[in-house]
Amino acid sequence: MDVVRDHLCDGDYLFCVLYFKMMRMVLKYIYSKGIVVKSNKIYKILCIISAIIVIWVCSLTKCNAQLPDGSTAPDWTLTDINGTAHNLYSYLDNGYTVFLDFSAIWCGPCWSYHTSGALEDLYIHHGPTGFPNVVLNPTNDVMVFMIEGDQGTLAELNGVGSSTQGDWVTGTPYPIFCTDGTVNNDAVTSAYDIGYWPTIYMICPDRTLIEAGQDPNPYSLITCNPAAFLSNDPKIFQYFGPNSTCQGSITPVISVQNNGINILTSLDSIRVTAATVMQPTIFLLLLSYTTPPLLSFGLK
């Protein structure tokens, strides 16, 4: 159950505990009554019920719904609780690695990581030069945001009410976004496929992300590609779509990004590796592909 608790907060975890205790009591009752002939049938029925309930819980918690490492981070523009608007891609285009802390005001593990000071230290010593609460001479290569992604209110963020873990605002040096619908909604939570709390993403300037986890030293995780310095430097993203079929065909859609300085307007060729049962390796060349004009780190 400790593994379960790492991925479920409060209500979902309590449900799992009570459910498994109930199943244990039912099985003990079955065997205490000496039900042998029908026990296998009853056991199968219980297994079916268990499977249905587990699927239901997973649907509520979006099991394994996180964006895969290497995915392109969706863009957003949100207004923080102080009224300042921020755009993700603007920070990335200026060379910053962005850390997003998706938390919920009621979540215990979220509160523990929030109060650990890891993201606070990250922002203070590595945040943008001249930003509030950043030291005089930072490394100037990181930006940090907290997104309360479960529609918690501003009052709850300030520690008011019985549903919140505490005061999330006081002492937090980096911007916080509220998604209760007053200024921002929780569409960003859906866009990032948040399946459990907290979820911390690290987004590189080339717009690719990884799930950083609750690392005590998040700055050590930064291994981003350098800023654009080559004149022409296109990049093809890893393909995550369907990759096999027994009938018909697959039409893969790939993403192209301009990692160079010049505006990207076309590609001379794209090489695709494929395989069949009869022919293990096939190289396909797509020639003279024209793309809409892409600025540095633009994506299509």
Q: What pLDDT digit, counting tens, does each position of 54-81 carry?
A: 555 544 444 445 899 988 899 999 999 9
Percent of the chain with pLDDT over 70: 68
Euclidean distance between the first and the last CA atom of the chain, given in angstroms as a whole number: 43
pLDDT score for 292:
75
From 4-18, 70-84, 203-217, 231-245, the region with the lowest mean pLDDT: 4-18
The pair phi, psi for residue 246, each rounded to 5°, is -100, -20
What is the pLDDT averaged over residues 49-56?
Answer: 58
Whole-angstrom distance, CA of residue 47 vs CA of residue 36: 17
Domain residue spans of the chain: 2-61, 77-221, 234-294
Give the residue from 268, 265, 208 showing the smallest Cα distance to 238.
Answer: 208
pLDDT score for 188:
97
pLDDT score for 56:
53
Phi-psi region of 288 (alpha: psi -120 to 50; beta: other; left: phi over 0): left
From 50-59, 66-75, 208-217, 278-287, the region with the lowest mean pLDDT: 50-59
What is the pLDDT averaged over residues 216-238?
Answer: 81
Instruction: Report which listed range, 90-94, 179-183, 242-246, is most confident.
Output: 179-183
CB-based contacts of 234, cutoff 8 Å, min separation 6: 256, 257, 258, 259, 260, 264, 267
Among 3.30.479.10, 3.30.930.10, 3.40.640.10, 3.40.30.10, name the CATH number for the domain at 77-221. 3.40.30.10
What separation in angstroms does the CA of 267 have from each of 61, 72, 81, 297? 41, 20, 44, 15
Whether residue 45 has pLDDT greater than 50: yes
Place of tokens 């794209």: 270
pLDDT averaged over the chain?
A: 80
What separation in angstroms does the CA of 130 have from each of 62, 135, 139, 299? 39, 8, 12, 30
Amino acid letter, 168 = W
Task: Work out whether strand 176-178 and strand 199-203 pair parallel, antiparallel, or are unpaired.
Answer: unpaired
pLDDT score for 15:
55
What pTM did the predictor assign? 0.66
Residue 166 pLDDT level (bands cut at 50, 70, 90): very high
Tokens in use for 86? 């921020």
Is 234 or 214 the better-scoring residue by pLDDT?
214
Amino acid letter, 28 = K
From 14-18, 76-80, 113-117, 147-151, the region with the lowest mean pLDDT: 14-18
Residue 125 pLDDT level (bands cut at 50, 70, 90): very high
Q: How many CA atoms lie within 13 A of 14 on its CB side?
A: 4
Give the residue from 50, 55, 51 showing the smallest Cα distance to 19.
Answer: 50
Is 286 or 104 the better-scoring residue by pLDDT?
104
CB-based contacts of 280, cutoff 8 Å, min separation 6: none
Place of tokens 């090489």: 271
What separation in angstroms does the CA of 284 have from each of 124, 234, 258, 264, 280? 49, 18, 22, 22, 13
Residue 1 pLDDT level (bands cut at 50, 70, 90): very low
Tokens in use for 118? 């890891």
Whole-angstrom distance, CA of residue 101 vs CA of residue 205: 17
